Amino acid sequence: MSLSTSKLERAAFIHKKLDEFFPETPIPLDHKDPYTLLIAVLLSAQCTDVRVNQVTPHLFKQADSPKKMVQLKISEIENIVRPCGLAPRKAKAIHGLSQILLDKFNGEVPNDIIELEKLPGVGHKTASVVMAQAFGVPAFPVDTHIHRLAQIWKLTNGKNVKETEKDLKRLFPEEAWNDLHLQIIFYGREYCQARGCDGLRCVLCKKMYPDRKRAISYNKA
């Protein structure tokens, strides 16, 4: 494999290898239903999944549904989620979206990405994760790991996560998007960390670009 290899060929190779590396794609955020997943994903912004999984049991013991959540004060939610960072903003969003779910959706998380994106604290990535992992709808949420690796692997010239998402959706089959989203994240965390691989060291980088001599720079998300 070389620099002349097409994006589609590289994508097919990456897809095959990631299936070998990660045949199973467990959802990394602990949850029991779409609502608890939505809250966990919201809390994961600028926070590790491990930390979120340490915090959510305490939160969900107090309130694991919109009805119970709105009965808490925002300050109570804030105190619980503080270890996740951005606590004031996240607590306000959790309380606010829970009230909207009660008022507009009978307490249920809507299976509609447009409606999800209207909820406080829920951007396109969070909504896409919920659509993929809670409802099984094909989506390709792009986080910092995916944005970085897609550039290092020359799958995109995207200057931001939205452009990268469009490029990846064109390169990979729709039925594989949900698994690939997690597989690329898992690969980035385990084999191709930002400080551990600069496009020269991990197994996929070396296999696809054996003649690469210089570290690869990339646009941060």
The predicted pLDDT at position 204 comes to 95
- Model pTM score: 0.93
Q: Give the pLDDT confidence of 69-95 residue by residue, as tens digits.
A: 999 999 999 999 999 999 999 999 999
Per the CB < 8 A criterion, the answer to whether 52 and 43 are in contact is yes
CA distances from 118 to 39, 75, 93, 101, 115 (A): 15, 23, 11, 11, 5
Nearest-angstrom CA–CA distance, 176 and 18:
11
pLDDT at 111 over 60: yes
Nearest-angstrom CA–CA distance, 180 and 174:
10
The predicted pLDDT at position 221 comes to 65
Chain centre distance of CA 171 = 19
Marked catalytic residue, from 90, 125, 167, 179: 125
Question: What rounded mean pLDDT belongs to the chain?
Answer: 94
How many other β-carbons are positioned within 10 Å of the β-carbon of residue 99?
15
Residue 3's pLDDT band (cuts 50, 70, 90): very low
Domains and CATH numbers, the chain: 7-25+140-208 (1.10.1670.10), 34-135 (1.10.340.30)
Residue 2's pLDDT band (cuts 50, 70, 90): very low
Marked catalytic residue, from 17, 143, 169, 198: 143
| Closest C-alpha to 184, from 19, 50, 37 | 19
The predicted pLDDT at position 215 comes to 83
Mean pLDDT of all residues in 143-172: 93
The predicted pLDDT at position 151 comes to 93
179 is a catalytic site residue:
no
Q: Give the pLDDT confidence of 7-23 residue by residue, as tens digits.
A: 999 999 999 999 999 99
Better pLDDT: 1 or 24: 24
The predicted pLDDT at position 4 comes to 47
| Closest C-alpha to 108, from 93, 122, 98 | 98
Per the CB < 8 A criterion, the answer to whether 109 and 64 are in contact is no
Residue 51's pLDDT band (cuts 50, 70, 90): very high
CA distances from 144 to 61, 80, 97, 163, 220 (A): 31, 26, 25, 13, 7
For 38-88, the DSSP string reads HHHHHHTTTS-HHHHHHHHHHHHHH-SSHHHHTTS-HHHHHHHHGGGS-HH
pLDDT at 200 over 90: no
Nearest-angstrom CA–CA distance, 146 and 166:
12
pLDDT at 129 over 70: yes
143 is a catalytic site residue:
yes
